[in-house]
Structure 1
Amino acid sequence: MSHTMRKEENALHDNELGRVIPCNALDWTDPFNWMRLGLLDLAKAPLVTLFYGIIFTLVPLGITFLVEQMDNHLVIAPAIVCFMLVAPFLAAGLYDVSWEFEKGHTPSLWHSIKAVHRNSVHEWAFAILLMVVMIFWLRIASIIHALYPPYISDDMSELIPFLAVGTIIGAVLASAVFMISAFTQPILVERKVDLMTAVLSSINAVWSNKLVMCIWAAIIFVCVLIGFATQFLAFLVLMPLLGFATWHGYIETITTKRKRNYM
């Protein structure tokens, strides 16, 4: 690692809701190092990367196609946000690949697919949690759409208030999802802990490293924008890369009793 990590006081350590795994204090350059390490993993596992990259590309393409068939373009944005909400759960296989490299093993597609079963009860509970958030967002989007004046035209100046309200609400929801999911799935993949411990540990790690995690969130946001700009084709590479990088972010952020073995 490029710097010496130090243990930071954890704001939620004594939270009565559950245990919190301590986190390290991060440097603002760390997210860029996670991307570098993720790129190395991507280059060492091209076939597994391609498999997950295809999935992450086909899902938004399929959503867009279905929405267009319904002839209701207003639901494209919330539908894609829904995909981004469940993406951390789908990335479990990518975390397994990076973990296998850390252990000196050769990763395989089947081994990565089985990653979701290591802590299956709580991992499926996490998936359900994300689905609940997804449904909540869709309902809010529907309410905003229903309450908006029916006489509005397609002129962009008249759509700005509608888009502004949706963007603000979406940003608040995305921030909450980022906090609860930043490291929850990697924790559940590697450790036999309950969902509450994993979620609180993720929230605590993000809260304790606000600036660094804002940089990490910005990197994710830029990658998503690039994906949208390329009709999701860039997701073939960018989504697996973010998955690998997230694993390296997790093992550098969440503390362990033993030294981690990675570059």
Structure 2
Amino acid sequence: MSHAMRKEENALHDNDLGRVIPCNELDWGDPIKWLRLGLNDMVKAPLISLFYGLVFTIIPLLITYLVSLTENHLVIAPALVAFMMLGPFLAAGLYDTAWEFEKGHTPSLWHSIKAMHRNSVHEWAFAILLLVTMIFWLRVASIIHALYPPYVGDDLTELIPFLAVGTAVGAILATFVFTISAFTQPTLVERKVDLMTAVLTSINAVWSNKGVMMLWAFIILACVAIGFVTYFFAFLVIMPLLGFASWHAYIDAVTTKRERKYM
């Protein structure tokens, strides 16, 4: 399968906000390649994969339990979506592990945990950005819920307007989060750059490869949906796989001065 090719034109250019690292032109078959390479990383690092899989499984289970205590079940879905928005930040350890494999090193769990401190100021700033987005989504979800009639009849069609509005707002916000975060965290993990440079680089790479990245987003969405219908237990495997695959997506999408070496 061919490697990504350098794009002559990018969607964004350097500006007053930050530098924009050029992107590559992606192939339609690349998302499958990323999953294959991610699976290979999982097999080579089973204990690290299990640790992060447990983190991604236990947290949404805990959120579901705590929210259920409020007897307001309609906010469970927004709360879980909010958690998924923090996924790119939590996946920093998986990016570090995949990077260690690329460098020919033996990864360790502690080394992966310390990855968030490698570019700590901007990585925590990114976490705050995602947290603010999460809070905004929860507030919007609360407003939608408040505007909805406090009763639900036997006819489920009464829920359609509520679900339609919530889905539309969620889709818009999810698209925004995906665009600004697809390659931000791996950029911050690997390179000593500021947050705006990493965010603009992610926006540029996603926008310049809209078709392929839309396919990748749908794959991620399908995987997350599988996790939801399995009461999050599928996240034990799915989230480490997506984390490792996202690192390989970053390798293909964002240009470097030298050719990357990975199997």
TM-score, reference length from structure 2: 0.98
Structure-1 residue corresponding to 2:9: 9
The answer on whether the counterparts of 1:8 and 1:23 sit within 8 Å (CA) in structure 2 is no
Letter in 2 for 1:214: M
Unaligned runs of at least 5 residues, structure 2: none
**1:150 and 1:229, CA in 2 relative to 1: closer, same or farther beyond 3 A?**
closer
| CA distance in structure 1 between the partners assigned to 2:29 and 2:149 by the alignment | 46
Matches within 5 A, 1:1-263: 2-3=2-3, 5-153=5-153, 155-263=155-263
CA contact (8 A) 1:6 1:25 kept: yes
More displaced stretch, 109-118 vs 60-69 = 60-69
Cα separation, 1, equivalents of 2:4 and 2:85: 33
Measure how far apart 1:6 and its partner are: 2.8
**Residue identity opposite 1:199 in structure 2:** V
Q: Return the offset for 1:150.
A: 2.8
TM-aligned CA deviation for residue 151 of structure 1: 4.1
Q: Cα offset for 1:5?
A: 1.5
Q: Distance in 2 between matches of 1:190 and 1:153?
A: 53
> Which letter maps to 1:191?
R
- Structure 1 window deviating more from structure 2 (150-159 vs 26-35): it is 150-159
Q: Please give the alpha-carbon distance, in whole angstroms, between the structure 2 residues aligned to 1:87 and 1:132.
A: 14
**Counterpart Cα distance in 2 of 1:190 and 1:25:** 21
Number of equivalenced pairs: 263
**Structure-2 separation of matches of 1:15 and 1:174:** 25
- Relative to structure 1, is the Cα distance of residues 4 and 82 closer, same or farther in structure 2, using a 3 angstrom cutoff? closer
Cα distance in 1 for residues equivalent to 2:39 and 2:150? 48
Q: Distance in 1 between matches of 2:84 and 2:226?
A: 14
1:137 and 1:253, CA in 2 relative to 1: closer, same or farther beyond 3 A?
same
Is contact 2:6-2:255 (8 Å) kept?
Answer: no
Determine if contact 1:34/1:248 at 8 Å carries over to the other structure.
yes
Shift of 1:152: 4.0
Distance 2:4 2:193 in 1: 27
Deviation, 1:153, is 2.9
**1:150 partner SS:** coil
User: Any idea what SS the aligned residue of 1:219 has?
Assistant: helix
Of residues 155-164 and 242-251 in structure 1, the stretch that sits farther from structure 2 once superposed is: 155-164
CA contact (8 A) 1:188 1:195 kept: yes
Conserved 8 A contact 2:179-2:203 = yes
Alpha-carbon distance in structure 2 between the residues aligned to 1:226 and 1:220: 10
- Match of 1:75, SS state, is helix
Distance in 2, matches of 1:255 and 1:191, equals 12
After superposition, the C-alpha distances for 1:15-54 in whole angstroms (9 at most, x for unaligned) are 3321100000001110110000000000000000000000
1:154 deviates by 5.5
Amino acid paired to 2:36 = R
- Measure, in 2, the Cα distance between the counterparts of 1:242 and 1:90: 12
User: How much has 1:10 moved relative to structure 2?
Assistant: 1.0
User: How many angstroms apart in 2 are the aligned matches of 1:249 and 1:115?
Assistant: 19
Q: CA RMSD in A?
A: 1.1
Deviation at 1:147, TM superposition (A): 1.3
Q: 1:165 to 1:15 in 2, by over 3 A?
A: same
AA partner of residue 181 (structure 2)? S
Structure 1 runs not aligned, ≥5 long: none
> TM-score when scaled to structure 1?
0.98
The structure-2 alpha-carbon separation of the partners of 1:120 and 1:3, relative to structure 1 and needing over 3 Å to count, comes to: closer
Letter in 1 for 2:58: L
**Partners in 2 of 1:13 and 1:103 — Cα distance?**
30
